[in-house]
Amino acid sequence: MNARLLTQGGFIEKQAAGIYNFLPLGLRVLGKVNNIIRDEMNKVEGQEIFMPVLHSREIWKATGRDQSMDGVLYRTRGTDDQEFVLGPSHEEVVTPLVKTFIKSYKDLPLAVYQIQTKFRNEPRAKSGVLRGREFGMKDMYSFHLTEEDLDAYYDRCKIAYTNVYERCGLKSYMIEASGGAFSDKFSHEFSILTPAGEDTILICDKCGAAQNIEIAQGKYAEPEDFGEDGKANAKEKPLPMKEVEAKRGPSIEAGCELHGCPAWKILKTVVYEVEDDGLVGICIRGDLQINELKVEKYFKKQIRPASPEMLKKAGLVQGFIGPVNMPAKVKISFIGDHSIKNVTNIITGANAKDVDIINVNIGTDYTVEDFADFVQVRGSFKCGKCGGALREEKAIEAGNIFKLGTKFTDAVSFTVTNKDQKQVPVFMGCYGIGNTRLVGTIVEACHDENGIIWPKSVAPYHVHLITLGNDEEATKKADKLYEELTEAGIEVLYDDRTDSAGVKFKDSDLIGLPLRIVISKRTLERDSVEWKERAPSTDGKPSEAKNVAFKDVVKEVVKFVKD
Ligand SMILES: [Zn+2]
């Protein structure tokens, strides 16, 4: 969507997949976005620098990322066969750079940033300026004597980031991120809601917490919350377990039908092959799904669901696997999700074809090696922090911040002398916002079927001044108004083409400036202009056009732009 609207409105033009030209209108928007980012980074004492795009491959080898980021790096060679990397990020450059100047604790903390072009060989470069192979980015790096100082600065940057999005007309949600290639707990993403988003996030409106659904935690209903069925369960006494004949299909639904019970009364066991560890059965309540990312995190190893052939080879009976009565010859271990703890008299497969076991109770009838959280959280769950309702929304990631610790400073032996003249490590944070991506995000979040609706703060111009017809008097008046508005500090895009009203209005909607002012013979008969705002009115309906007296226009426009 952003690519189509930005192209039709004359903001960008594609050169190749993921590579765009910014045209005059687009560059004005990008410049405004950059200035907002710059201003917020300056407020947290960031100092602007400008680093090279071309990096010696040696420095990428030194941190190991020449290999770990192999799939996304663009590499190139000079005529003398010297190898270079086109920078996808700048830790490798900034850390030795700062090391050159910073020797003592007295020089810290320090934060430097740049607004620079990055290169990543992006296999999915098809979302307009949201995901480019060549794209703009503000990247800031901070350096600290202690971890506590990094923590405090990191918290200030969270606020600075929220300010950037707000000033760009966007509401952002800060979510704890899974970390990716950098770190696994000290990072946050900033997400903007839009139906075009690639991410699904869960928002709690009660406490404001937002989570990525991939790693989200939340509260599911416990047995006592399940009405009559649940009450029966909560009061139920544990009964002696019993094998029963179970001619059924392998699904949980088939078990429910056969035993006439809700899904939560069935123990679901899913078998995974864990790298180097063999087979592991994850036991979870039958109505819940397993989040495989959580399983992977638990084992800190690659996992994959065991294939039917693998199950057969191991002596397991598909559809009837469970932690009770496992034949000794089968090599498998069991880990339980917390959800299975509170179900009395649960039902499981008996590790034999067409046999189930009812009235199974953990502790009495079986044990698992460990408990952990493996649940795939959904919008129907409650917030894990406050119990409020969760809602699922599509979102775009519009920035992220990381606590890097000493990973990159260690790699180049960057230390400083502390008060006791001892060499101590330097702690580092990094803070990124894709500025070209942010332009695309604004478009995704702010448009209607006719085109873009730029927030005032980033609109390429404030006012679209349009003349209709060839009336000499109207043209004269419009020329004069253009001059007066410009003198008053208003940015005006003046459409004095001789095209029809239809063409001019259509273009005006596509370009999406906050205010459209039309002057024609007809408006001049009332000594006024036609005033129409691009953004919908507060009730969501399109704003109505109105007449504003000619003598008041400049004053009213200044007021509108400042508001
Ligand atoms: Zn909450």
56-76 mean pLDDT: 92
Instruction: Quote the pLDDT of residue 361.
Output: 95
Separation of CA 386 and ligand 1 centre (Å): 4
Separation of CA 381 and ligand 1 centre (Å): 11
Question: 256 falls in which pLDDT band (50, 70, 90)?
Answer: very high
In this predicted structure, the answer to whether residue 465 has a pLDDT above a threshold of 60 is yes
Q: How far, in Å, CA of 114 to CA of 544, rounded?
A: 43
Mean pLDDT of the chain: 93
Listed residues: CB within 5 A of ion ligand 1: 204, 206-207, 209, 383, 385-386, 388
Which secondary-structure segment (H or E) carries 16? Answer: strand 12-16
Separation of CA 389 and ligand 1 centre (Å): 7
Instruction: Quote the pLDDT of residue 182.
Output: 38
pLDDT > 90 in the chain, percent: 80
SS3 helix, strand, coil % of the chain, rounded to 5? 30, 30, 35
Cβ atoms of 529 and 554 closer than 8 Å: no
User: In terms of C-beta density within 10 A (0-12 exposed, 13-18 middle, 19 or more buried), how is residue 75 classed?
Assistant: middle
**What CA–CA distances, in Å, run from 186 to 50, 175, 216, 328, 330?**
27, 11, 16, 43, 40
Instruction: Quote the pLDDT of residue 196.
Output: 84
Q: How far, in Å, CA of 425 to CA of 408, rounded?
A: 11
Instruction: Quote the pLDDT of residue 336.
Output: 97
User: In terms of C-beta density within 10 A (0-12 exposed, 13-18 middle, 19 or more buried), how is residue 527 classed?
Assistant: exposed
337-358 mean pLDDT: 95
Separation of CA 317 and ligand 1 centre (Å): 42
Give per-residue pLDDT as tens, 285-319. 999 999 998 999 899 888 999 999 999 999 999 99
In this predicted structure, the answer to whether residue 26 has a pLDDT above a threshold of 80 is yes
With H, G, I as helix, E, B as strand and everything else as coil, classify residue 95: helix
- Of the listed ranges 46-55, 97-106, 218-227, 238-247, the least confidently predicted one is 218-227
Q: How far, in Å, CA of 222 to CA of 560, rounded?
A: 53
Separation of CA 431 and ligand 1 centre (Å): 26
β-strand pairing of 528-533 with 515-519: antiparallel
With H, G, I as helix, E, B as strand and everything else as coil, classify residue 230: helix
Separation of CA 202 and ligand 1 centre (Å): 10
Separation of CA 208 and ligand 1 centre (Å): 6
Q: Which two tokens stand for residue 414?
A: 């960057």
Q: How far, in Å, CA of 558 to CA of 519, rounded?
A: 18
Question: 181 falls in which pLDDT band (50, 70, 90)?
Answer: very low
In this predicted structure, the answer to whether residue 21 has a pLDDT above a threshold of 80 is yes
In this predicted structure, the answer to whether residue 378 has a pLDDT above a threshold of 60 is yes
Give per-residue pLDDT as tens, 391-444. 999 999 999 999 999 989 998 999 999 999 999 999 999 999 999 999 999 999
Give per-residue pLDDT as tens, 351-375. 999 999 999 999 999 999 999 999 9
Separation of CA 455 and ligand 1 centre (Å): 30
- Residue pointed to by tokens 């992220």: 400
Question: 185 falls in which pLDDT band (50, 70, 90)?
Answer: low
